[in-house]
Amino acid sequence: MDLDEIAISRAIIGTQMEKLLEFMEMDVAVVGGGPSGLTAAALLGKKGLSVGLIEKKLSIGGGMWGGGMMLPRIVVQEQAKRLLEQFDIAHTPYGSGYYVAGSVEAVSKLTAAACDAGVEFFNLISVEDVMIRGDGRLSGLVVNWSPVEMTGLHVDPLTMGCRIAVDATGHDAVLARLVEKKGGDVKVQGEGFMWADRAESRIISHTKEIYPGLVVCGMAANAVAGEHRMGPIFGGMLLSGEHAAKLVARALKQ
Ligand code: 48H
């Protein structure tokens, strides 16, 4: 068979445009493909919801790829060991109550679980605004290609609708800040200095619906709450993603 360049291009354009149209009205939009977003997306996808994960970078994984200071290892504490097991991420005990895993394996297995659960990935797309109409509920995301943002081109965005959105954008808490900036009843207090024990023990209580239709998780949850940071321990990110998935599923009665 002669390979046909036009057929190859048609296959890519045709199928991806179909997916974009399908996800114009999705159940859950997870913004940010770091550990908390991947966990939330994988668990929500497993519940049969249509879940789109929007990631501004080329690669998925957020801050997990880099481990601690570019040493590709992550540490997970006892409380989140079961999630390492659930996602089949190999881990070895270290000292009392710590487990060490490879950051590349951790990102890859979480990503694979999300793929298996039917999550659709939209990478290289940045969320630049949110849609909130008269009912005061977040009902969609305003998106553009990341290279448009990076090059500063004046290109108008498009909108993707969702029943609920998860802000998993990490330290920047992008969605929460957008809602705050535009007058929504949200206050982003900004994250505090390093205090791993406190940051990790409180992250679940900060993982919540902070505005109708907007759940915040991971480092973004701590940033909104004015909570501390924790460095390269990732149990809180996995647990926060799991908790966000529970809240979203409950809100959507799934
Ligand atoms: C689309 C966007 C946008 C946008 C950002 O930073 P992340 O890994 O987030 P978490 O919360 O899952 O994990 C945090 C963890 O990686 C970390 O940084 C820790 C534990 N730090 C502790 C410390 O003390 O420093 O991932 C967020 C993702 C990234 O991939 C961004 O590219 C993406 O969100 N993102 N995607 N549109 N506007 N903004």
What CATH code is assigned to 26-251? 3.50.50.60
Pocket of ligand 1 (CB under 6 A): 31-37, 54-57, 62-64, 126-127, 168-170, 172, 174, 218-220, 229-231, 237
pLDDT interval class at 1 (50, 70, 90): confident
Cα–Cα–Cα angle for 187, 193, 199, rounded to 5 degrees: 75
Chain segment 149-175, per-residue pLDDT in tens:
999 999 999 999 999 999 999 999 999
The H-or-E segment that residue 130 falls in is strand 125-132
Q: How far is CA 237 from CA 36, 41, 106, 206, 253, in A?
A: 5, 13, 12, 12, 24
Closest ligand 1 atom, CA of 63?
16
Give the residue, by CA position, lying nearest to ligand 1 atom 37. 126
Chain segment 127-153, per-residue pLDDT in tens:
999 999 999 999 999 999 999 999 999
Query: Measuring CA to CA, which residue among 40, 69, 21 is closest to residue 244?
Result: 40
pLDDT interval class at 73 (50, 70, 90): very high
Is 178:187 a contact under the CB 8 Å cutoff?
A: no
- Separation between Cα atoms, residue 110 and residue 168, nearest integer Å: 15
Give the residue, by CA position, lying nearest to ligand 1 atom 38. 127
The token pair at 16 is 């991806």
Q: How far is CA 141 from CA 82, 133, 205, in A?
A: 33, 12, 25
